[in-house]
Amino acid sequence: MSIIKVEAVSKYYGPVVGVTDLSFSVEEGEIFGFLGPNGAGKTTTIRLLMQLLYPSQGRIFLFGKPIDRKDNFHREKIGYLPGEFTPYRNMSSLQFLNYMAKYRSNPPQLREQLLKRFDYTEQNLHQKIKNLSHGNRQKLGIIYAMEHSPELIILDEPTLGLDPLMQEAFYEILRELHESGKTIFLSSHNLPEVEKICHRVGIIREGNIVTVETIENLKKKRPRRLILTLPVQNSSKPPILPGTQLIEQAGNKFTYLIDGDIRSVLQELAQISIEDILFPEPDLEDIFLTYYQKNNS
């Protein structure tokens, strides 16, 4: 069953376009990555899912039912972390969690486990939120979103402010929640993060869905990267290589994405004086660059 289904949804802020003709679905029990840079439409999409905004056109279904302005049937089933988590600053963390728990029918059954996993101490719990570090505020937001064991967890840039150890703890928790049958919608601009934990990814660009693919299929489609180093005396202009995009130049080092037949690239390289050449193992960064550098020239 599709836990989330978005059908031809657009959102306009007067003459400004938020998102246009979005269509995608998130299946029960999967971790779905929603990938794009700041301003691409990720947060607008999430606010539409949470009924903080309403579509200018199109329809959204949650748990198989259409959502509208009159019905909040799904709220109890969702855990939500907004992109800019701003809890009540003069409360302590414990006061905040207890206060918000009153508005949920599900008890905070995962709270103690999450506090331990995120190394959230008694001192942190009793400290006023306004005095917490950014990292601890972010951990509080994640705990708040997950502690009632919701069926659907919607997270907007959840690892911002977390140190690497806490990021790994977060990924492990997501895997465990997935294994227990939870559905997770994760917005991010962090490509390695999406590659590490998601099953499928939707890439959004300028308010439009560019593609929805499994991670495996995206890897199959990704272009190769070429890093070419020329002798300094020959490096004033980048070589023109067929079927490539020049994406970076640093002195006499040039980085390309290869979209075409690599044989034609190798034939051209055979005619050039080269100091060094590398074909690094491709990753999702190459896919990202392919989609976001199109039509920029």
- Interval 105-147: pLDDT, tens: 899 999 999 999 999 999 999 999 999 999 999 999 999 999 9
pTM of the entire predicted model: 0.83
Q: Tell me what the mean pLDDT of segment 22-49 comes to.
A: 94
- In sequence order, the 6+-apart residues with CB closer than 8 A to the CB of 281 are none
Most confident of 79-88, 165-174, 191-200, 253-262: 165-174
Beta strand 200-205 pairing with 31-35: parallel
The pLDDT of residue 119 is 95
- Bridge-based pairing of strands 224-229 and 253-258 is antiparallel
Q: Report the pLDDT value the prediction gives residue 282, as an integer from 0 to 100.
A: 67
Amino acid 11: pLDDT: 96
**How far apart, in whole angstroms, are the C-alpha atoms of residue 58 and residue 56?**
7
Domain-by-domain residue ranges, the chain? 2-215, 223-281
Where residue 171 falls among pLDDT bands split at 50, 70, 90? very high
If 0-12 CB within 10 Å is exposed, 13-18 middle and 19+ buried, where does residue 296 land? exposed
Count the Cβ atoms, other than its own, within 10 Å of residue 165.
9
User: According to CATH, what is the number of the domain 2-215?
Assistant: 3.40.50.300
Predicted confidence band of residue 297 (pLDDT cuts 50, 70, 90): very low
